[in-house]
């Protein structure tokens, strides 16, 4: 009990920190500890606090209740540390287990794959829009302005020119006539 009184400030800070989560646990442990220490005589309590002679029975009961409260917090803190230690050991064991690592990697890849189709679909729509504008005869400058005004995409003209070449070569030259027109337009 003397140890509890020496650690009183630390224990109260632990209780304040975890009070919203574990108040019920601490109070239930406090009740069991109170039953255990309620049989203490005045002389044993007097060893802890010399001023106990002037205490009434009500004050003694409150003091014992407070001691039980501190004991409950102390036990809770020890339990918390034990759980943290065991959890740390469990994490290390999981990290050593190659099968769990492989499962985690596979799940991570699956989650990435789940996001890619949406991005790919958006990019395909954007690509189709750019190629449509190109077929309508718009040049790189106007396409870049269009992308900025409609999608807030800032694309440099050399980069846009480069990707248009790649896309048009993949499409089989469907827009070669408009490409020639635009090239001659830009060269003048």
Q: What pLDDT, on the 0 to 100 scale, is given for residue 107?
A: 56
| Domain residue spans of the chain | 2-96, 117-187
Residue 103 pLDDT exceeds 80: no
Triad 152, 156, 161: Cα angle to 5°: 115
The string over 58-84, giving b where at least 16 C-beta atoms fall within 10 Å of a residue's C-beta and e elsewhere, is eebeebbbebbbbbbbbbbbeeeeeee
Measured between alpha carbons, how far is 162 from 138 in angstroms, rounded to an integer? Answer: 15
User: 146 pLDDT band (50/70/90 cuts)?
Assistant: confident
- 116-120, 156-160, 175-179: range with highest mean pLDDT: 156-160
Q: pLDDT by residue (tens digit) across 59-96?
A: 666 666 767 777 776 777 677 667 666 665 555 454 44
The residue to which tokens 């239930």 are assigned: 28
User: 22 pLDDT band (50/70/90 cuts)?
Assistant: low
User: 123 pLDDT band (50/70/90 cuts)?
Assistant: confident
Q: Which residues contact 176 (CB under 8 A, 6 or more apart)?
A: 168
**Which two structure tokens, joined as six digits, stand for 177?**
């006539």
- 50-54, 61-65, 78-82, 161-165: range with highest mean pLDDT: 161-165
Residue 10 pLDDT exceeds 70: no
Residue 105 pLDDT exceeds 80: no
Q: Which residues contact 6 (CB under 8 A, 6 or more apart)?
A: none
């Amino acid at each position: 009990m003397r140890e509890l009184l020496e650690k009183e400030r630390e224990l109260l800070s632990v209780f304040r920190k975890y009070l919203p989560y574990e108040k019920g646990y601490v109070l239930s442990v406090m009740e069991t500890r109170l039953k255990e220490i309620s049989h203490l005589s005045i002389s044993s309590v007097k060893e802890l606090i010399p001023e106990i002679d002037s205490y009434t029975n009500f004050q003694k009961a409150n003091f014992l209740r407070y001691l039980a409260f501190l004991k409950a917090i102390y036990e809770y803190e020890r339990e918390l540390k034990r759980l943290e230690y065991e959890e740390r050991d469990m994490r290390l064991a999981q990290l050593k287990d190659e099968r769990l690592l492989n499962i985690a990697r596979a799940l991570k890849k699956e989650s990435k794959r789940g996001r890619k189709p949406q991005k790919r679909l958006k990019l395909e729509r954007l690509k189709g829009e750019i190629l449509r504008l190109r077929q309508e005869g718009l040049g790189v400058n106007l396409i870049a302005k269009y992308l900025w005004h409609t999608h807030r995409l800032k694309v440099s003209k050399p980069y846009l020119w480069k990707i248009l070449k790649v896309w048009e070569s993949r499409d089989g030259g469907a827009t070669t006539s408009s490409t020639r027109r635009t090239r001659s337009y830009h060269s003048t």
